[in-house]
Structure 1
Amino acid sequence: MAETNKESLLFTRVNKDTQSLPVSVEDWERQAREILPDGPFDYIAGGSGAEETLASNRTAFSKWAIVPRMMRDVTNRTMGITLFNQSLRTPIMLAPVGMQAIAHPEGELATARAAKEAGVPLVVSTVSAHPMERIAEVMGDAPRWFQLYWSNDREVSASMVKRAEAAGYSAIVLTVDTIMLGWKRRDFRNGYSPLREGKGMANYITDPVLCSRLTEVTAENVVEEILKNIYHPALNWNDIAFLREQTSLPILVKGILHPDDARLAVEYGVDGIIVSNHGGRQMDGAISTLEALPAIAKVVAGKIPVLLDSGVRTGADVVKAIALGANAVMIGRPFLFGLAVAGEKGVASVLDTLIHELDVAMALSGSNSVADLNESILVRV
């Protein structure tokens, strides 16, 4: 992006956009707090236990500082990357967040439109508020992945994966850190469970295999079937082979924090790893994702892509994560706050800000491409 174009863009944003919409993630969160009832807001913003992991995901980024490099001619910058033979505009993706209708009536449909316009891949959750096929229609040819919550009924998992492939999703993300539900104090205080309210059943109530298990297909019966199937303590590495039999799409595992698990992922033929602690929503007191990233990247050694989720808020965060070994990053809460405040326009604005922050951070770090970002531009604080 030429310097003059950047300056023109900056003045345009200052004069127009920032007068009506929040700028920082913190501003978006404050406005979302004003709009949403306690139950939905705390479900989105909160974490498990005392929320130590939720906090450490953010503080981990402050423990690294970027050391800018000068006089390197960064006129011709590009943020583009390639993942699984697919060219992407930036190394930023929208993480799988379920039940988005609790933030805005349009839920994932508004998010999908904003993601398509921004050229940012959307990872659609198994517990989305709209069926995966409807979300795919909105996205057209735009890149999208499907996140799978394993089911105790393997055939339900197989059905979901096959539906995703048929609907044009280009990768499967198996979330592996939800074998039990995290202990979320805020939700207990509020007596709030969007899953029990049926907000995340769209893919289940439209699934032929799951519905075939019911004597009568009602919302109440579907919700009970989901609750019976969605927590899966028996999930293990051997299940990857079954999943591989169901699809030709790349398979990523989301929720890896230990380098030994990363090593096993490679050994079992997984195509990608997402370093994630579920945004601090599962095990409290767990290691932050940025702290876990370097050891995992070292073990993987470039054999498969490594992505980072949980705690990313700014363009500088993206630079730090990639410099420490991530191929790409995912954001969750930031776009949910944008969705809550302004629907599609809010998600678009959050993405626009983050992408332009990344561009500025790359330029000022002396980097022309994502490939230029490495640990040499960082110092441990």
Structure 2
Amino acid sequence: MEKMVYGFTRDTGRIKTVSCLRNIMSPNPEITTYIKSLYPHRSPVLLHCPEFMGNEKKYLAECIDTKYVSYVGRFVADMENKIKAITGAKHAVALVNGTAALHMLLLAAGITNGDEVITQTLSFAATAAAIMHAGATPVFVDVERETLGMSPDSLRSFLAEHATLKSGACVNRVSGKPIKAVIPMHTFGHPVRIDAIQKICDDYSLLLIEDAAESLGSRYRGTHTGTFGKAAILSFNGNKLVTTGGGGMVITDDEAIANRVRYISTTAKRPHRWEFYHDEVGYNLRMPSVNAAIGLAQLEYLNTILSNKRKTSWLYNQFFHTLGIKYITEPENAKSNYWLNAIIFNNRKERDEFLEYSNANGVQTRPAWNLLHTLPPYQYCQCTPTPNAEYFADCLVNIPSSVRT
């Protein structure tokens, strides 16, 4: 039976609807066989594992030899400077992980108890958790099928129905609470339509904070993700494009926010040569130097990583086109880092059959996250209709995406 699927166009690399006469087999042993051929030296083939191809051991040895293994020493500052050069942000503050980075950023941006923050329901749990850590309440909107990220239409629809401007502040007419910020997430490294979201935030006097945890190296209209709004965060978890083992970063052009994040994440200690004076309750969340040493080494060959992953995405796209299976490619006006590759099945039954088969046969695959508004901590939160997010929750599977060596 003929079915319409998303295929690949050599000239642009964009999604295009084409005809394919092949039925989808579920489970499909051809897929696991092909993935193993891309990673012949891996058994099992993991979803995304780090590769260390540069100065990681050298820098770690230097870190140990100098005795500067906490956030003191050159590596944390050098990594922050490298991130500024890559992203174009004026300031960068290295922290222990992406969740802590988003938590500190929200506090520095003035988010506090009783506030509301709008985010997308298709996201890793850390996005909503950081909002809660700051004392605020998340509100969930849908995503787009084209980008997998926050839908500007869903965001505007929610605000038009539920929000009002009072003395220049956005207030939720249902809860009576102030809505302070919007946090879109660049899902699997694919940039959202951030310009459209920025326009909506401007219309409703909302802070735009980007969760760019997965999108290091991704660009929208030529500009690096994470540099469109007030500030953003990056993640360097063990499964990310560039890893420090565990680590995160706040990036911003706002000096006051950067200084505030740096201060409260360093135990709120006033600088002094010997005295320990803390004038508020702070946090101990700075990135250690040993982690930054690894990350700095990896950032030195970031372009090689990005090129490698784009080649893998091209190979996947060609392969899945022959099978008549939808493969997610970068959205229009975007250049994705292709952190995690993803395919789409027709329904949850096909998805689950493939997940069961692939994971039992040496290929690690994963579904999309459970939608945040369905999880116990967030079931009381407001949420728009989410047909697109539900579609991805039912049908999307992430497939191995490591750098191929």
What TM-score does the superposition give when structure 1 sets the normalisation length? 0.30
Return the structure number with greater helix share.
1
What TM-score does the superposition give when structure 2 sets the normalisation length? 0.29
Return the structure number with greater strand share.
2
